[in-house]
Amino acid sequence: MIFFRRLFFKAMHMSSWTLFLTTMSLVLFSSFFMYYIEPETFTSPFDGLWWTMTTVATVGYGDLSPVSVSGKIFAMLLYVFGIGLMTVLIGKAIDTLSARKRLKEEGRLTITREQHIILINWTNRARITLLELLDTFPDICIVIMDETEAKTPFLHERVDFVKGAPASEQTLRQANFLKAKSIMIFSPDHAPNASTADGLTLLIASSIEAAAQRQEQNVYTICEVADSANLSAFSHANVEEFITPNDTAAHLAARSILFNGSSEIIRQLTCSDGYDLYRIENTFGWQTYREAKQALDEKGILLVASRHDLSIMEKLDEYIPQHAPLFIICNEQAYHRL
């Protein structure tokens, strides 16, 4: 009894890899050994493997069983040692999965996904953006990065969490930021004022761009700016896009008062309610904006912009710049047909 106890505790303290190799070695040895000592009963090593697995994993099916004394003695030994090893192996596997699940929830795992979206700073606006991304793009994966949350604030199979200071290169690398499709930095809610919030956002954006430049790579960064008066401070941060929600909301309110119904149009475009705004590449061979507009009109699609330029309606006969993204308005069906 003491011998079995010591053997069991020794197995418990083996590394997972050593335990796995030991268990598999025992299974393979038992399979060939039973075939060797009872070839009439176990007509092939596979029969021995089948019997071994049903013995160590269950209580056996009874379709194959040793008939000789030596075979029965070995079966008893295998039952004791094999089930013990298999139990410890399964226990370690469960512990490993549980530990991984805990590390994932605590944001301590390194992200290996690519072409994912990184949302920095968990706010109510970040939650709305996350829900919209998950609903609109069924294949996109998202990484939340925040240093104030104790564990993942949103449980979903396509959502990962990284806990740490977003301005730290180590945290950025943990989120695999160089392989991300784009990074959205939300203005932190805990800042005492807009200037402090924008200062924190600028620090994160500058850290991202500096870390990417050291690797001679570029990342697409979008910043939420609390006060548009601070936009000039971001001029050297190489940020691709800015969002100013406060100014946008105020402007939209004013336009809605002056032009009743305008807010509903914007709401539909921003809430995927029927028609939506999409970006496409000019892979159709269109030379001018007029040619592109006419081709899209025939498909019930409205061409609205090229890159950030909304004035293309005034220059329809100009040539479309190479690699210039085009923005269109249409429903989802028309977009997928296109």
Asked if 43 and 31 count as a contact pair (C-beta separation under 8 A), the reply is no
Q: Please tell me the distance from the alpha carbon of residue 119 to that of residue 139, in angstroms, as a whole number.
A: 16
* pLDDT value, residue 16: 66
Helix locations, 61-176, DSSP H: 69-105, 124-136, 169-174
List pLDDT tens digits, range 85-127.
777 777 777 777 777 788 888 888 999 999 999 999 999 889 9
Q: Are residues 235 and 324 in the same domain?
A: no
In 205-315, which ranges are E strands? 221-224, 241-243, 275-280, 302-306
- The answer to whether position 259 is within a domain reads no
* pLDDT value, residue 7: 53
Taking CB atoms within 8 Å and a gap of at least 24, the contacts of 164-168 are 164/107, 166/120, 166/121, 166/204, 166/207, 167/203, 167/204, 167/207, 168/207
* pLDDT value, residue 92: 73
Which residue, among 308, 300, 305, 306, has the nearest Cα to 338 in the 3D structure? 300
Q: Are residues 122 and 227 in the same domain?
A: yes
Tell me the pTM.
0.65
Decide which of 105, 128, 163 is a domain's last residue. 105
Q: Which domain holds residue 54?
A: 2-105
Q: Are residues 234 and 124 in the same domain?
A: yes
Q: Are residues 284 and 181 in the same domain?
A: no
- The answer to whether position 258 is within a domain reads no
Q: Are residues 17 and 88 in the same domain?
A: yes
- The answer to whether position 37 is within a domain reads yes
- The answer to whether position 59 is within a domain reads yes
The distance from CA 322 to its chain's CA centroid, rounded to whole angstroms, is 32
Sign for the pseudo-dihedral over CA of 147, 153, 155, 156: negative
- Residue 12 sits in a domain whose CATH number is 1.10.287.70
Residues of the chain with pLDDT under 50: 1, 3-4
Q: Are residues 184 and 68 in the same domain?
A: no
Q: Are residues 221 and 129 in the same domain?
A: yes
Mean pLDDT of the chain: 83
Q: Are residues 191 and 128 in the same domain?
A: yes
Q: Are residues 100 and 124 in the same domain?
A: no
- The answer to whether position 152 is within a domain reads yes
Q: Are residues 122 and 189 in the same domain?
A: yes
Q: Are residues 287 and 224 in the same domain?
A: no
Domain count, the chain: 3
- The answer to whether position 267 is within a domain reads no
- The answer to whether position 38 is within a domain reads yes
* pLDDT value, residue 20: 75
- The answer to whether position 71 is within a domain reads yes
Q: Are residues 64 and 131 in the same domain?
A: no
